[in-house]
Amino acid sequence: MEVTTAHLRRLTSKQYENTLRQALGDVFERGDLPRFGDDSPTIGMNNSPSNLRVNDINVESIYASTQGIARAAVINMPSVRDCVAASTDTCFGQFVDEIGHQLWRRPVATEERNDLLNTRAQIAQAPATRAEQAEFLVQALLVSPHTMYRTELGQGEGKVVALTDYELASALAYTLWNAPPDDELYALAAQGALSDRETLIAQANRMAADQRVAEALAAFFIDYLKLEAVFAQTKAAAYGLTEETRASLFEGVRSDLVQIFSMPGASLLDPFKATNFHVDSQSASFFGVPVVASGSFEVIAMDPAQRLGVLSHPAFLSVHAGAFDSGIVKRGVFTLEQLLCVPLGAPPPDISARNDVPAEFNDAQETSREVLSVRHSSQATCIACHRMIDPAGFGYENYDAVGRYRLVEKENVQIDASGELVLGQELLAFNNSVEYIAALANSEALRSCLSDQFFTYVLGDAPRREEREAIYTKFNKSNGAIDELVEAIVTTPSFTARQVKETP
């Protein structure tokens, strides 16, 4: 079976933070971390290896940040602080081994250790104080590619190589916990035991029972639905989407996802069917519920005729809407490409700016849906694509540009959120937005696409055909059960092996 290609995968900002905290403890604040400035593609996953890079834009931030964190470690980390106060140099090697193992997710090799210590000795002749020498060593470990990147070098020769036990430990930990391996994984890696299939499955099951899985799965959904973009979306002031409200909506939906995935027997499909949301005084009006106590979230049951699942959450709906309107096309494109894996391609280059709308047509007296339909039907180059895009967006029309539920727009124009969406052999028919969201959640297309997106998120690469079929069969049979899906993914060949690119 063909397996995925080896990648050089930089840690995400959250993975980097978790790695540093495990190695150094709480010697730094979140604001001390580097600003990676990664692009956030509107379609696809943000953790793609091609997106996570060290470049001219973020390298200065990385250097300044790691220098500050290294200084904090010298002051606040006992093993480093004690070494600074010691009278011999042996302790420098000891804390390089200790911290390096945690940051690099494997033991520091003798040659690597000697290189660092020899450079320290040269710095000492400069002369540099013991604190400056310690700071150099810690920062050198922090900025090392072995810290910044997950290696997939494997072992052995040939076009396909098995990942090392330490690489498997990292793959498990960053997939399931968004964090580096714990002591048990390191111990098994040192024994060479993770290469054993049953041991790998047992560890995956152990880790899947940990609360950190819920946090990691919430992070996947936040990326998958682009929910963090709620902070950046431009909105007309009249909608009242203040900075405080954006923060409230984001934290609320994040809490929803963590709670959903913390439930026993949770499924990857559960977020699409949730009926309770975390709401506070900042976000209450966007849900159309009474204001709750200031400064705290409450879990509130929504009117089932108005809300169903994360696709009806104001955070999601705000992200995928325009500044002044509901963004029918924007919502439709995202739904097709990201949620249903229907590729659309770029718009045709010959779209004109002319307006062939009949003179008697009055925008103010028609729904946004009707206005859009008339405008798109006036140009032949638009019709083919928008015959699919527009129905995928019409289904959200019961929600305005910030996700407030509505039955009318333009003061008294009745909303029409009904329609049909053809997806291969499937036909999704709906009368309103809740029916549309329910139809999406139950569709074969969404289930298949979600399975692919999760696999891609885990491996940083799209699944190969045989693996896609095997993973989706397991996904469908288990109805997306997390524990079943975890086992299916860690036992697929691309989790434990990589195809090596041939060098010219």
Q: Which of 442, 466, 491 represents a domain boundary (last residue)?
A: 442
Residue 399 and residue 290 in one domain:
yes
pLDDT at 1 over 70: no
CA distance 283 to 297: 10
Residue 240 and residue 131 in one domain:
no
Using the structure block, give the residue that is written with the tokens 């996700």.
403
| Residue 388 banded pLDDT, cuts 50, 70, 90 | confident
| 8 Å CB contact between 80 and 138 | yes
pLDDT at 166 over 70: yes
Its pTM stands at 0.92
Residue 254 and residue 138 in one domain:
no
Instruction: Return the C-alpha torsion angle 105, 108, 109, 113, nearest 10.
Output: 160
| 8 Å CB contact between 8 and 53 | no
Question: What percentage of the chain exceeds 90 in pLDDT?
Answer: 76
Q: What is the mean pLDDT of residues 454-479?
A: 89
Q: What is the pLDDT of residue 158?
A: 85
Residue 135 and residue 244 in one domain:
no
| Residue 412 banded pLDDT, cuts 50, 70, 90 | confident
Q: What is the pLDDT of residue 381?
A: 62
| 8 Å CB contact between 319 and 226 | yes
Q: What is the mean pLDDT of residues 476-489?
A: 93
Residue 247 and residue 99 in one domain:
no
Q: What is the mean pLDDT of residues 261-270?
A: 96
pLDDT at 398 over 90: yes
Q: What is the pLDDT of residue 401?
A: 96
Peptide linkage before 314 cis (omega within 30 of 0) = no
| Domain presence at residue 495 | no
More confident residue, 379 or 2: 2
Q: What is the pLDDT of residue 56?
A: 85
Name the residue range of residue 360's domain.
219-442
pLDDT at 450 over 70: yes
| Domain presence at residue 228 | yes
Q: What is the pLDDT of residue 75?
A: 96
pLDDT at 274 over 60: yes
Cα angle for residues 112, 114, 115 (degrees, 5° grid): 65
| 8 Å CB contact between 462 and 2 | no
Residue 226 and residue 98 in one domain:
no
Q: What is the pLDDT of residue 199?
A: 98
Q: Which of 400, 418, 442 represents a domain boundary (last residue)?
A: 442
| Residue 492 banded pLDDT, cuts 50, 70, 90 | very high
Instruction: Return the C-alpha torsion angle 185, 190, 192, 195, nearest 10.
Output: 30
Q: What is the pLDDT of residue 165?
A: 98
- Helices 165-176/212-224 angle, 10° precision: 70
Residue 244 and residue 358 in one domain:
yes
pLDDT at 77 over 70: yes
| Residue 184 banded pLDDT, cuts 50, 70, 90 | very high
| Domain presence at residue 459 | no
The count of residues in the chain is: 504
| 8 Å CB contact between 254 and 246 | no
Q: What is the pLDDT of residues 293-346, one digit of tens each?
A: 777 899 999 999 999 999 999 999 999 999 999 999 999 999 999 999 999 877
User: Could you give the number of structural domains in the chain?
Assistant: 2
| Residue 419 banded pLDDT, cuts 50, 70, 90 | very high
Residue 247 and residue 387 in one domain:
yes
Residue 243 and residue 349 in one domain:
yes
Classify burial at 360, counting beta carbons within 10 Å of its beta carbon; exposed 0-12, middle 13-18, buried 19 or more: exposed
Mean pLDDT for all residues in the chain: 92
| Domain presence at residue 393 | yes
| Domain presence at residue 147 | yes
Among 102-106, 289-293, 477-481, 486-490, name the one with the lowest average pLDDT.
289-293
Comparing C-alpha atoms, which of 478, 456, 481 is closest to residue 467?
Answer: 456
Q: Give Cα 488 to chain centroid, integer Å.
A: 20
| Domain presence at residue 455 | no
Among 53-57, 343-347, 391-395, name the one with the lowest average pLDDT.
343-347
pLDDT at 7 over 90: no
pLDDT at 359 over 80: no
Residue 125 and residue 264 in one domain:
no
Three-state DSSP class for 228? Answer: helix
Write the DSSP string, 81-95: HHHHH-SSSHHHHHH
Residue 225 and residue 145 in one domain:
no
Q: Which of 112, 128, 151 represents a domain boundary (last residue)?
A: 151
Alpha-carbon Rg for the chain, nearest whole angstrom, is 26
| 8 Å CB contact between 331 and 386 | no
Residue 6 and residue 83 in one domain:
yes
Q: What is the pLDDT of residue 445?
A: 96
CA distance 197 to 459: 18
| Domain presence at residue 477 | no
| Domain presence at residue 489 | no
| 8 Å CB contact between 222 and 257 | yes
